Chains A and B, each alone.
Chain A
Amino acid sequence: MRNLGPILTVVAAIVVIWYAGAVGLNAAWSKDQAARAGVELSFGEMVSQTLSQDRPKLPAPHQVAVELWQSTWVEETQGRRGLVRSGSLSNRSLVYHGWLTLSATLLGFAIGTGAGVLLAVGIVYNRAMDMSVMPWAIASQTIPILAIAPMIIVVLNSIGISGLLPKAIISAYLSFFPVVVGMVKGLRSPDAMQLDLLRTYSASGGQAFWKLRLPASMPYFFASLKVAIAASLVGAIVGELPVQQGGLGARLLAGSYYGQTAQIWAALFAAAALAAVLVGIVGVIQRRTLTRMGMAR
């Protein structure tokens, strides 16, 4: 609770700056309209108009909040296609699109984490992989994901794979990298003395892996997972841009096509909230695991 004061102060400051920005950016359009109608706007009228435009350049916080509420709770409980009236999630609601993105994120995260761990084990245990894999892994991350995402979708589509998997693969493309880097570091973290100790026991390579290297890598693993899950979400959203078959990415792009800035911001906030929740969940698992292992005090 000690932290609440500073956090609320920062949030309040952001809201104030946001309102000021909304007034400033949307004022031109309001003045324009007033000039065409031949009326003179008072400052108060001007401000209230800038905060209630249909297609503002920058929607005010309360407009975004209303849009978020409308496109989640109201749409599902009262909409014709909502959960209450149709029995399934409405394709106009952020809950539906958020779920699409989340499922691609989680699948991609699982693939990326698995691939990252396997690559890291290969790098640590195989000299050829040690010399060759890392440069490729780094190169893969220097290519803008926005450029390569459509290629992945087109190629996979041409061999009959569409829907969830292409998005998940783009998501895995981003998330394997932090896992590789973290796990290589983690698996190599035991020092020479620890390895010598196992030699004095004549331990096998497998025993050294399961009893020393793997447990020693856990703190690094979880740090990587936090980066990887956020990267997975970005990958899933980017994967949804060229496909336009639902998801938060599709909502973002649709919003920008039709000038629905409030819709874009609502989708952005939904994505940010999703990321925060996912990172939070990884954090809880991290704390539980490390405490159980006796590595957190």
Chain B
Amino acid sequence: MGALRDVTGEPMTQMGETVVAASGVDLTFETNDGPVHALKGVDLEIGKGEFVSFIGPSGCGKTTFLRCIAALETPTGGTLTVNGMSPDEARRARAYGYVFQAAGLYPWRTIGGNIRLPLEIMGYDKAAQAERVARVLELVDLAGFEKKYPWQLSGGMQQRASIARALAFDADILLMDEPFGALDEIVRDHLNEQLLALWARTGKTIGFVTHSIPEAVYLSTKIVVMSPRPGRITDVIESPLPKERPLDIRDSKEFIEVAHRVREGLRAGHEA
């Protein structure tokens, strides 16, 4: 924690080694109506420990790019490496945890059982499973809910459980695809705050897809603005905000300036 606080107030551009490197990434889907350019010429570097948000209108390829990093889609051109490996190798090395828009908890498993799912698949022994489940439940503030079934929890709690599930096996990268998109604003604020605290505690590299400007500015060290047809990056903003961010930082001058620049980027992409 001490080391992280040292950079407070400084623009966090230098975060050490590169985790994700994309250069000239293209992804074209062949459809009956001709090719669709989901991604075109995407260049991006994500450093270790960065919190990177992808923002843009629907169809801009932000989710598609995240899925490329996760090897759930395969780019048709360019190069993309994750931890210096191909995305598919990184997936098999279990380099990342993925959080989807819906919590997607198995209704027939308890919260603890859902978090154990990846651990069972990856072959952790029973003692390690129990220890990790307890640890990540505490991390997302759900201690005591291990034996509850998903339907007994609110939407926000379910999404926190799904984040715990993605954290359980200690991947260094956390990829989140509009994880709070389906939640109301009050719950979302709360979860954003918790996510920042979690990020500070764990030092993970986070890729975060959103369509909310305040959410992107509040959370990120780097904001990637994208626009559609073809899906591409129009602006990359290094956030000047300090690492320590209370909710009321959203009324500060810096925050409003960054939000303004994001909005400009989105508008420029829209008009192009």
Please determine whether A295 and B98 come into contact, CB atoms closer than 8 angstroms: no
For chain A residues 201-222, which have a beta carbon within 8 Å of chain B? 201-203, 207, 211-212, 215-216, 218
Please determine whether A212 and B94 come into contact, CB atoms closer than 8 angstroms: no
Q: Does A293 contact B (CB under 8 A)?
A: yes
Interface string of A20-63 (1 = CB under 8 A from B): 00000000000000000000000000000000000000000000
Q: Does A288 contact B (CB under 8 A)?
A: no
Name the prevailing secondary structure of the B interface residues. Answer: loop
Please determine whether A297 and B151 come into contact, CB atoms closer than 8 angstroms: yes
Please determine whether A193 and B149 come into contact, CB atoms closer than 8 angstroms: no
Question: How many B residues touch the partner, as a band?
Answer: 20 to 34
Indicate whether A196 sits within 8 Å of B100 (C-beta atoms), given known contacts A294-B107, A294-B109, A295-B108. yes
For chain B residues 72-114, which have a beta carbon within 8 Å of chain A? 72, 91-92, 94, 96-98, 100-102, 104, 106-110
Q: Does A4 contact B (CB under 8 A)?
A: no
- Closest A residue by C-beta to B109: A294
Q: Does A194 contact B (CB under 8 A)?
A: yes
Q: Does B10 contact A (CB under 8 A)?
A: no
Please determine whether B110 and A201 come into contact, CB atoms closer than 8 angstroms: no
- Closest A residue by C-beta to B107: A295
Q: Does B121 contact A (CB under 8 A)?
A: yes
User: A140 to B8, alpha carbons, bound, how many Å?
Assistant: 73
The interface residues of chain B lying within 8 Å CB-to-CB of A294 are 107-110, 149
Indicate whether A200 sits within 8 Å of B106 (C-beta atoms), given known contacts A207-B121, A297-B151. no
Please determine whether B110 and A194 come into contact, CB atoms closer than 8 angstroms: no
Name the prevailing secondary structure of the A interface residues. Answer: helix
Q: Does B118 contact A (CB under 8 A)?
A: yes
Q: Does A278 contact B (CB under 8 A)?
A: no
Please determine whether B104 and A202 come into contact, CB atoms closer than 8 angstroms: no
Q: Does A139 contact B (CB under 8 A)?
A: no
Q: Does B264 contact A (CB under 8 A)?
A: no
User: A216 to B121, alpha carbons, bound, how many Å?
Assistant: 17
The smallest C-beta distance from A293 to any residue of chain B, in angstroms, reads 4
Q: Does B117 contact A (CB under 8 A)?
A: yes
Q: Does B257 contact A (CB under 8 A)?
A: no
User: A45 to B149, alpha carbons, bound, how many Å?
Assistant: 68
Which of A194, A201, A215, A293 interacts with B118 by CB under 8 Å? A201
The smallest C-beta distance from B144 to any residue of chain A, in angstroms, reads 17
The smallest C-beta distance from A296 to any residue of chain B, in angstroms, reads 10
For chain A residues 253-297, which have a beta carbon within 8 Å of chain B? 293-295, 297
User: A194 to B108, alpha carbons, bound, how many Å?
Assistant: 14
Q: Does B122 contact A (CB under 8 A)?
A: yes
A–B complex contacts, Cβ < 8 Å, 9 sampled: A197-B104, A199-B71, A200-B91, A200-B97, A202-B91, A294-B110, A294-B149, A295-B108, A297-B151
